[in-house]
Amino acid sequence: MSDALIRARALVAGWESPATAPLDFVVESGRILGLTGANGVGKTTVLSALAGRARVFSGVLEARPGLRLALQTQDVPPVGGVPLSGRELLALTGATVDGLPPWLAGRIDDRLDRLSGGQRHYLTLWAVLQAPADLVLLDEPTNNLDAAGVGHLASALRRRAESGCGLVLVSHDHDFVDQVCDQVIVLQEAADVV
Amino acid sequence: MWSELFLLPFLTGLCLALILPALGCFLRLRDEWLAALAYAHVAAAGALLALVGGMMPALGGMAAAALAGAGKRLFTRRLAGGAAFAVLLLAGWAVAVLLAANQPLAESLGHALFDGQLYFSGGAQLALVAPWAVFSGVALLVLSRHLLLARVYPDYFRARHLRAWPVMLGFDLIAALTLALATMTMGIMGGFALIFVPAWIAFRRARSWRSGLLLAVMIGLAGYVAAFLLALGLDQPFGPVLALLLIAVGLIIA
């Protein structure tokens, strides 16, 4: 397909050793792929392999030449004690302020370490989601978010996809994945696959 | 005081008072404020080695600091968590003290480097420090976005197929060479005070990165001018007066 951003064939990823069952998928522009499954099946590992952090042990992982990635991990950005405002954070990644939820837009000039955990999480997630990129990789983006945050995120993800960006979303939240994703892959334990 | 005798030292220190607080903010951002002491001690050792070897102390100090800044990357895995700076600090201090203790030529320069010798700075020192302050200030502005991104989103460079090492190496060299010049101009602790205290206050009080940099530079400049006048008026060594003044300001504001 001409608008394929990433194509995986029998992909087995891991860190020190193979940690996932073989996977086949294609991520296209304007589409959202959801990766879900039980804890420990390697959802984050697959996402990390797409970003070049984890190793590909076997199979094929092809990326469109010059593909611009944006990656949100579960690690909390270490901004404690750093005088960095929300507006400055968005400027760093090239993300736009437009579209932020009202409960965050009013605090955009505050220091990140003066925001609540949920506000900080959403802002650092927004900085990645809205950064100029062809493919956005998100790892458990609904963590730390209340219902309003999850609802706003779902709308923002759809709008981002409609703008032509591809997204890969890892989440244990099946309802959320079913709500926003065009395609869902339920990962299985590597040992369960014969 | 505005005779050439004091004007040249004042202007030389002023250049450093502009750049050291900004550099301190970036070192603090990277949890590397100990690097200031490490590079300063290595520069002192390099200057003394050069003096004993019949070369220009300034060149020796800058070369040693630059080597330390670039070379520490080779031992990152073995010396993680700031251990590289502690090792450099100890090694630099040990070599400098041993040289000062055993080489009569190095003894007086050693005292000057550790105590601070701002009032002895002349035109040659100003000619070296002023252009470097301009260059390093511009370089920090250019590197600023990538240094912030490296802190907040460490995966940014890999995801964008960018190489992070030129940014990091460039920053390490700027830090090392600036500290070397500061050490040879106002002594180890005078330079460290301007690196550490303004950034500490700015990180506590500023509302944004930009205002933090401005606040740090303003504190550094005000502290420097006040310390220069006070030390001169009271006939006291500059470094300790600067350190005490900045600490007092820091404890009140931070």
- Among B153, B207, B211, the residue with its CB nearest the CB of A77 is B153
Global confidence as pTM? 0.89
Mean pLDDT of B75-84: 74
What pLDDT score does B198 carry? 97
Q: Which pair of tokens denotes residue A130?
A: 């809205």
What pLDDT score does A14 carry? 94
**Amino acid of residue A139:** D
- Among B156, B159, B202, the residue with its CB nearest the CB of A83 is B202
From chain B, the residues in CB contact with A51 under 8 A are 155, 158-159
Q: Which pair of tokens denotes residue A70?
A: 């944006």
Reduced to 3 states (helix: H, G, I; strand: E, B; else coil), residue B90 is helix
- Among A79, A88, A93, the residue with its CB nearest the CB of B208 is A88
What pLDDT score does A191 carry? 63
pLDDT in tens, A158-181: 999 999 999 999 998 889 999 999
Closest chain A residue by Cα to residue B148: A92
Q: Secondary structure of A111-140 in the HEC alphabet?
A: EHHHCCHHHHHHHHHHHHHCCCCCEEEEEC
pLDDT in tens, B21-31: 999 999 999 99
pLDDT in tens, B113-133: 877 778 888 888 899 999 999
pLDDT over threshold 50, residue B226: yes
Structural domain count of chain A? 1
CATH of the domain at A103: 3.40.50.300
Closest chain A residue by Cα to residue B146: A92
Q: Which pair of tokens denotes residue A32?
A: 């959202």
Could you give the angle at which helices A86-93 and B123-152 cross, rounded to 10 degrees? 90
Per CATH, the homologous superfamily of domain B4-253 is ABC transporter involved in vitamin B12 uptake, BtuC (1.10.3470.10)
What pLDDT score does A1 carry? 47
What pLDDT score does B1 carry? 52
Question: How far apart (Å, rounded) are the C-alpha atoms in residues B158 and B163?
Answer: 7
Alpha helices in B30-154 (DSSP H): 34-52, 57-71, 83-102, 104-115, 123-152
Q: Is A93 on the interface with B (CB under 8 A)?
A: yes
Give B194's pLDDT tier (boundaries 50, 70, 90).
Answer: very high
pLDDT over threshold 80, residue B58: yes
Q: Is B158 on the interface with A (CB under 8 A)?
A: yes
What pLDDT score does B33 carry? 87
- Among A53, A84, A127, the residue with its CB nearest the CB of B209 is A84
Q: Which pair of tokens denotes residue A72?
A: 């949100």
Question: How far apart (Å, rounded) are the C-alpha atoms in residues B234 and B15?
Answer: 23
What pLDDT score does B117 carry? 73
Contact B151 A78 (CB under 8 A): yes
Lowest mean pLDDT among A4-8, A33-37, B151-155: B151-155
Mean pLDDT of B180-209: 94
Give B181's pLDDT tier (boundaries 50, 70, 90).
Answer: very high
What pLDDT score does B224 carry? 97
Q: Are A172 and A35 in contact (CB under 8 A)?
A: no
- Among B155, B209, B211, the residue with its CB nearest the CB of A51 is B155
Q: Is A53 on the interface with B (CB under 8 A)?
A: yes
Q: Is B153 on the interface with A (CB under 8 A)?
A: yes
pLDDT in tens, A44-83: 999 999 998 899 999 999 999 989 999 999 888 888 899 9
Q: Is A99 on the interface with B (CB under 8 A)?
A: no
pLDDT in tens, A95-138: 999 999 999 999 999 999 999 989 999 999 999 999 999 999 99
Q: Which pair of tokens denotes residue A67?
A: 């593909």
Question: How far apart (Å, rounded) are the C-alpha atoms in residues A61 and A58?
Answer: 9
Lowest mean pLDDT among B14-18, B71-75, B161-165, B179-183: B71-75
What pLDDT score does A194 carry? 43
pLDDT over threshold 90, residue B109: no
Distance (Å) from the alpha carbon of A193 to chain B's nearest alpha carbon? 30
Mean pLDDT of B216-230: 96
Chains A and B form CB pairs within 8 A to the count of 65
Q: What percent of chain B has pLDDT over 90?
A: 57
Give A192's pLDDT tier (boundaries 50, 70, 90).
Answer: low
What pLDDT score does A169 carry? 95
Q: Are B8 and B239 in contact (CB under 8 A)?
A: no
Q: Is B135 on the interface with A (CB under 8 A)?
A: no
Find the domain containing A59 and state its range. Answer: 4-192
From chain B, the residues in CB contact with A78 under 8 A are 151-152
Contact B207 A109 (CB under 8 A): yes
At residue B206, φ and ψ (nearest 5 deg) are -70, 150
From chain A, the residues in CB contact with B156 under 8 A are 93
Contact B155 A87 (CB under 8 A): no
Q: Is A107 on the interface with B (CB under 8 A)?
A: no
DSSP codes, chain A: -TTEEEEEEEEEEESSSB-S--EEEEEETT-EEEEE-STTSSHHHHHHHHTTSSEEEEEEEEE-TTPPEEEE-SSPP--TT---BHHHHHHHHT--STT--HHHHTTTTSBGGGS-HHHHHHHHHHHHHTSS-SEEEEESTTTT--HHHHHHHHHHHHHHHHTT-EEEEE-S-HHHHHHH-SEEEE---GGG--
